Amino acid sequence: MGLQHTSGDLVGNMEVDAFRRLFPLPFFERYLLESIRPDARPLSSARDTTVALGAVASADGSALAKIGYTTMLAAIKMEVMTPSLGSPDEGGIAVDFHMPPVCSPLIKPGWPAEAASVLSKQLTDVIISSGMVNLKELSLIPGKAAWMAYLDVYCLNADGAIFDAALLSAVSAFSHLHIPAVSVTEDGRVVAVSGELVEGNLVKETPIKSMRKLTLSCIPFSLTCLLHKKYILADPTAEEESIMETHVTVVLDLSGRLVSFYKPGGPVHAHTSALQDCVALTRQRVKELQKILNEAIADMDLD
Amino acid sequence: MAGKSSSIAPTTYSPSPTLKVKKKQQQQQQPIFKDVDWVRPDGRSFQHCRPAFLRTGAVNSASGSAYAEFGNTKVIVSVFGPRESKKAMMFSDIGRLNCNVSYTTFASSIRGQGSEHKEFSSMLHKALEGAVMLESFPKTTVDVFALVLESGGSDLPVVISCASLALADAGIMMFDLVTSVSVSCLGTNLVIDPITEEESYQDGSLMITSMPSRNEVTQLTLSGDWSTPKIHEAMQLCLDACLKLGEIMRSCLREATSAPHE
């Protein structure tokens, strides 16, 4: 409280930027009193979000997602593998999340960020457990060959709500994914066929699967909220995240079912009502995100 | 990382690229560029660079940043600092430049290939070192981090040009912008700004990194088969292209400052 007093005295003769840096918490609390945030957003609304599909030509499926300044690039590469003995008729998905040193001043090359491996795990859990992709669809020949989808998500600009942007880019990349056509050679190897090859000397092979898209069900979307005193701030920026440390990430799928709920400690002990509010905010956000993704897919189909 | 190790069978292989390469090699026994009326895969003439798209301010938390897209080659560069040097470093009167180039796992057609970035990091450092006024930030370090999002040929020249744009965006003092262009020698032809496919069957390559308005060269690499007149021709071609690229970069910087910020 002493801090608040000193800051109160100093306010009159201090520039706004200096005040923001020296007393970040009182600065934000003044905004919160008016139910507004420094970037002119109401507390419950998210930043502008865009999705662009097909950002990387060298991948089988890719997407660039932006939430405010936070930018994520996700790309999927398909490889043929031998399915595991336990599930011979299923393919696999391997998810990796990267925070290269370009994205934030806090990351040094050669030192993988701690946050990156945590997010990797979270993304894997959400994508696998949501059942968005039917792994049986990735099967080629039961017991012999199946697709392995390598999903790599790169954070290009870290400005808060990293998980939300990463998940959005990941599901967008899956909705853009085109599984290559494959055929089996005489010696039993599975090879991809591109259009030009069909006329070549490899015609003997029997094409077993043509180029296709995955059918996605129950696509998961997420919203991260900050809890501070009685306030709930949706979709925080990096600055807000650094000042107010309690955050809650809610993942819901399109039918409104809860896929994942994540509140990693923090100084604020959330009441059930606050958590319910977070879920309600996420429900609204899921509708927004679904619209944004559908528009991106429609744009892609037009081209 | 955790997800990766558990379920991957060791026998994974990537069918499409290998097959494509094989097919290409079959065709390449009689290389098409020996024909008189050979056209480049993307339909450019030999002396035409790919259209360049440049933009500054791609990363808001960096001191300066730039994004460059030359055809399929897509690069993002962030500059941080001047900031404190690493503790273990010796005292230095002049500033340090620290460069790092990395590739995304999906940058090239085969997943997870991009091991040459150590070499690229030092090439980038050498290319920029001569242009940056290191004495303007004594005792501190400027970090230049590049990430190749997609590799479509002529990666290093694009990284270098993009990095100098990012340095300019960060307000780091330089003698001039650094621009870089490469030329591939294919049979008797010189093709400027080659794509991956052309690079894969080139006889020789030449890359020039220059400061166009001072008409100075900071780096020149030459590899493969060259004759002296060809080298002269290629150098002139590169320097002309560097001059033009410099103008494009300058206009990009001007646009960024004249546009209302945020």
**Domain boundaries of chain B, sorted by first residue:** 6-258
Predicted pLDDT at B20: 40
My answer on whether omega of the bond before B82 falls inside 30° of 0, hence cis, is yes
Predicted pLDDT at B91: 82
Residue A114 class from Cβ within 10 Å (0-12 exposed, 13-18 middle, 19+ buried)? exposed
Predicted pLDDT at A264: 87
Q: What is the mean pLDDT of residues B9-21?
A: 41
Buried b (16+ CB within 10 A) or exposed e, A213-223: ebebeebbbbb
Q: B111: which chain A residues are within 8 Å (Cβ-Cβ)?
A: 77, 79, 150
Distance (Å) from the alpha carbon of A278 to chain B's nearest alpha carbon: 28
Query: Are the C-beta atoms of B182 and B29 separated by less than 8 Å?
Result: no
Predicted pLDDT at A196: 44
CB contact under 8 A, A128 and B104: no
Q: How far apart are the first and last CA of chain B?
A: 37
Residue B149 corresponds to which tokens in the numbers above? 């999002």
CB contact under 8 A, B106 and A117: no
Predicted pLDDT at B116: 56
Q: What is the mean pLDDT of residues B61-80?
A: 94
Name which of A58, A77, A104, A126 to mutate to probe chain B: the one with the most chain B Cβ atoms within 10 A of its Cβ. A58
Domain topology for A42-177+214-302: Ribosomal Protein S5; domain 2 (3.30.230)
Q: What is the mean pLDDT of residues B5-18?
A: 41
Instruction: Give backbone dihedrals phi and psi of B35, rounded to 5 degrees, phi first.
Output: -65, 150
Q: Tell me what the pLDDT averaged over chain B comes to.
A: 83
In chain A, where the domains are located: 42-177+214-302, 179-211
* DSSP 8-state secondary structure symbol assigned to residue A186: T
Count of beta carbons in the 10 Å neighbourhood of residue B45: 9
Please name the residue that has the structure tokens 């990766």.
B4
- Choose the closest CB to A197 out of B12, B23, B77: B23
Res. B66: pLDDT tops 90: yes
Predicted pLDDT at B11: 43
Low-confidence ranges of chain A (pLDDT < 50): 1-7, 195-204
CB contact under 8 A, B111 and A150: yes
On whether any CB of chain B is under 8 Å from the CB of A31, the answer is: no
Predicted pLDDT at B191: 92
Distance (Å) from the alpha carbon of A223 to chain B's nearest alpha carbon: 22
pTM: 0.86
Q: How far apart are the first and last CA of chain A?
A: 59
CATH number of the B6-258 domain: 3.30.230.70
H-assigned helices in chain A: 2-11, 16-22, 24-33, 114-129, 162-176, 238-243, 272-302
Res. B60: pLDDT tops 80: yes
Residue among A77, A96, A73 at smallest CA distance from A169:
A73
Predicted pLDDT at B109: 81
Residue among B244, B136, B143, B224 at smallest CA distance from B184:
B224
CB contact under 8 A, A94 and B106: no
Question: Rg of the Cα trace of chain B?
Answer: 20
User: What are the strands of the beta sheet with A246-253, ordered from one edge?
Assistant: A231-234, A220-228, A246-253, A258-262
Count of beta carbons in the 10 Å neighbourhood of residue B251: 11
CB contact under 8 A, A100 and B147: yes
Residue among B81, B76, B89, B85 at smallest CA distance from B143:
B81
Residue among A231, A141, A221 at smallest CA distance from A188:
A141
Residues in chain B: 262
Count of beta carbons in the 10 Å neighbourhood of residue B246: 20
Q: How far is Cα of residue B51 from the mean position of the Cα atoms in its chain? A: 15
Predicted pLDDT at A203: 44
Cα–Cα dist A172/A64, whole Å: 8
Q: What is the pLDDT of residues A11-58, one digit of tens each?
A: 566 788 888 888 999 999 999 999 999 999 999 999 999 999 999 988
Cα–Cα dist A61/A173, whole Å: 5
* DSSP 8-state secondary structure symbol assigned to residue A135: G
Give the pLDDT band of residue B172 (cuts 50, 70, 90): very high
Predicted pLDDT at B262: 46
Cα–Cα dist B195/A183, whole Å: 29
Count of beta carbons in the 10 Å neighbourhood of residue B192: 21
Residue type, A70: T
* Beta-strand runs (E) in A132-185: 139-141, 145-157, 178-179, 182-184
Residue B172, H or E segment: none
Residue B174 corresponds to which tokens in the numbers above? 């330089």
Name which of B24, B53, B59, B142 to mutate to probe chain A: the one with the most chain A Cβ atoms within 10 A of its Cβ. B59
CB contact under 8 A, B145 and A128: no
Cα–Cα dist B115/A147, whole Å: 25
State the number of CA atoms in the 13 A half-sphere of A209 facing the CB: 21
